[in-house]
Structure 1
Amino acid sequence: MRWSALLNPGFLVAFVVLTVSAIGMSAAIRAYGLHLQKLEIHAPGNRQLSALPRETPSWKQIGTDQIMDEDTVKTLGTENYVSRVYIQKNPPAGQEPIALEFHAAYYTGGIDTVPHVPERCMVGGGWLQTKGAQTLALEDVDTSTWIVDAAASGGARGEVYSVRTLPAPYSDAPGTRVRLPFGVAPDKPIHMRISAFGDPKTGKTLYSGYFFIANGGTAASAEQVRTLAFNLTSDYAYYLKVQFSSAGVSSAQELAELSSSLLGELIAEIMRCVPDWTLVESGEYPPDNPRRRTGASN
C-alpha cells in the first residue's frame, strides 16, 4: 500500500465524511433511544410452555407431549416449546369429541429469527395448501373473568385487561390475576390466521391456524410480528407463536370456534409463560432492565 495515497485530498474528504456520519448516526441512535441489538427476556422463573395445564374444565390432553429430536429442535429454533393434543370432554349431544393439536413456541433476542408458520412448514412437509389463508376473530373466548387493570391502563395502550387463572386442580396458581396482551378486550378479540392443507397421499384435510403474542401485543401474521417484536425503541424482543390444528373440523370457522374454547381456558396460563410487558416498560422487570438503571420508560 502506498501511504502517500492516504494524503490524497479526495481520500481525506471521504474519510472525514464517513467518520462524521458514523458519529452522527451513533449520536442519533442514542438520542432517540433506539436499540438495534435486542436483549433476551424470559417469563419469571423462566417458566416453560410445557408447564401449561394438561387439563382444563372443557378439554383434556390425550397421549403425551411430543418430544422433538435434536435436529427438529434445531430447525424449530427454540427449546421452549410444547406440542400436545387436547380433546373435548363434553362434546355436543350426539357428536364425537373433536381433538385439537396445540403447539406453542417461544423465541427471544435475535432480530433475524424467522417465524415458523404452517404455510411454510406444512408445504415444506409435502402438504398442499388447498385454501387461501383467512384471518378470523376468536370471538367465542370466555371473557367472564376479564376486568380492566387500572394500574396498567392508559396512554397509547388504552385499557389493559387481566384474567384469572384456572381454579384448582387445573392450575398450580389458581385464581391468580394475569395481564392480557395490549389491545385485547371483550370487544376486541385476538385474531388467528387459518389455512387448509391437503395430504396428496391420503386426501386428508387439515385446518391449521396461528397467532403471535409479542412484546405485550398480538399479531396474526409473520410480517406483523416482526414489526411488533422488534420495535427499535424496545430493549428486549420476544414472541410466542400459538397454533391450533385439527383434521376433525370441516371449516376454518369451526377451527376458530373450537380454538376459542380452548384458548379461553388457557390464556391466563399462556400469559404466565411470557414477560409482563407493563413491568418491562416501566423497568420493574427483569431485575437487570436497563430502564431501571436509567429511570426511563416508554
Structure 2
Amino acid sequence: ESLATLPRDLGDWKQISQDKPLDADIEHELGTDQYVFREYADERKVGAATIQQMRDLRAAILRERIEEEAVRMEKDWTRLYSQMRMDHPESVVNLAVTYYTGMVDTVAHVPDRCVVADGYEPKPSDSDYADWKISPAGGTMRVRFINYEDQTGARRMPRSIAYFFQVNGDYEASPLDVRRKLQNLLQRHGYYAKVEVMTLLDDRNKSETVMSDFLSQVVPAVEGLLPDWQAVVRGANAPSKPVDAEALTQR
C-alpha cells in the first residue's frame, strides 16, 4: 500500500503536520516518489486539545483562498508549534519513510553524511548503534543512533537521529548490509525502505526513550504497508524490478 496511508494516529502519537509533495528537484535527488515526511506529537505530553487545535488550524490553512489570510494563519500555527516544542521538547518527533524499488541510483539519504554537510558534527559516543525494543515480534531491533551538535556558530538546536532499513523482509541498520542483501543473485526482485526519526533533544538517553517509544508504534504500521516478502518469493506481489545494489554506498 502507499506510504501516504500510514495512520495519522499511532497510539499516543498524533500527526500534526500536513502531507505534501516535495519540490521536483528535491524529489529527483531523493530518488523516489514514494515517501512520507511527517511530524508527530505525543498527546500524553501536550494534551488532546492542543493536537486538535493544530490540526484544525492546518486544515483551515488548506481551505483558505485568500493568500494574506493563509499567511496569517500559517504564522499562528508556527507560533503554536514553537511554543509546544519549547514547553515540551520531548513531545515532537520528525518521521521520514522512503521506499525504493526498480533501478535505484543510491541508498536513501543517510544522515551520517547529509547532516555533517549541513554543519553538524556527531557527538562522541561508545557506539553509533543501539538495540531498541521496537520489533513487531516483541524483541529488540538494531538501529543506527547518532547525536549531532551544531558547529556553525549559529547556535542551532542539537539533533538526535535514528534510522534503519527494511530490505527484502528483514531489518538492517547499515547501508552495507542492505547492499549485501540486495546483491543476492538468487533473488529476482528486491526492495528496501528506510525509516528515520529525529528529535531536537541534547540528552542521548532522553532521545532514546522518546524515539523508541514512537518507533514501537511506527514499525508495525510501516511493516503493514511494505511487500510481504514471502509472497514475493512465491511469485506474488513482487516489486517490478531488482534494485541496483552496486550504488548503495555512494552516500
| TM-score for both structures, normalised by structure 1 | 0.60
Structure 2 residue matching 1:131: 3-state secondary structure: coil
Of the candidates 174, 180, 192, which is equivalent to residue 143 of structure 2?
A: 192
- Whether the 8 Å contact between 1:230 and 1:237 is mirrored in structure 2 is no
Q: Matched residue of 1:91: which SS?
A: helix
Match of 1:246 in 2: 199
Residue of structure 2 aligned with 1:107, choices 93, 100, 109: 100
CA distance in 2, matches of 1:63, 1:78: 21
- CA deviations 1:177-221 (Å, max 9, x no partner) are xxxxxxxx323x211101122222124211111000000101101
Deviation digits for residues 151-183 of structure 1 (CA, Å, limit 9, x no counterpart): xxxxxxxxxxxx6xxxxxxxxxxxxxxxxxxxx
1:260 aligns with: 212
1:234 aligns with 2:187: yes
Q: Which amino acid aligns with 2:228?
A: D
2-structure distance, mates of 1:204, 1:226 = 33
2:131 counterpart residue number: 137
Is residue 131–residue 195 contact of structure 1 (8 Å, CA) maintained in 2?
A: no
Deviation at 1:260, TM superposition (A): 2.3
C-alpha separation between the residues in 1 aligned to 2:203 and 2:175? 22
> Which residue of the other structure, out of 86, 94, 115, is the alignment partner of 2:40?
86
What residue number does 2:226 align with? 274
- Contact 1:115/1:222 (CA < 8 Å) preserved in 2? no
Q: Is the 8 A contact 2:148 2:158 kept in 1?
A: yes
Whether the 8 Å contact between 2:31 and 2:104 is mirrored in structure 1 is no
Contact 2:31 2:105 (8 Å CA) reproduced:
no
| Corresponding residue for residue 160 of structure 2 | 207
TM-score scaled by length of structure 2? 0.70
Compared CA separation, residues 288 and 75, structure 1 to 2 (3 A): closer
Which has the larger Rg? Answer: 1
Q: Mark the runs of 5 or more structure 1 residues left unpaired by the alignment.
A: 1-46, 144-162, 164-184, 290-298
Identity %: 29
**What is the deviation of 1:50?**
1.8
| Post-superposition offset of 1:266 | 2.6
Which residue matches 1:55? 9
Structure 2 gaps of 5+ residues are 48-86, 242-251
Residue 189 of structure 2 contacts residue 240 of structure 2 at CA under 8 Å; is this kept in 1? no
Counterparts of 1:35-54 in structure 2, within 5 Å, are 47-54=1-8
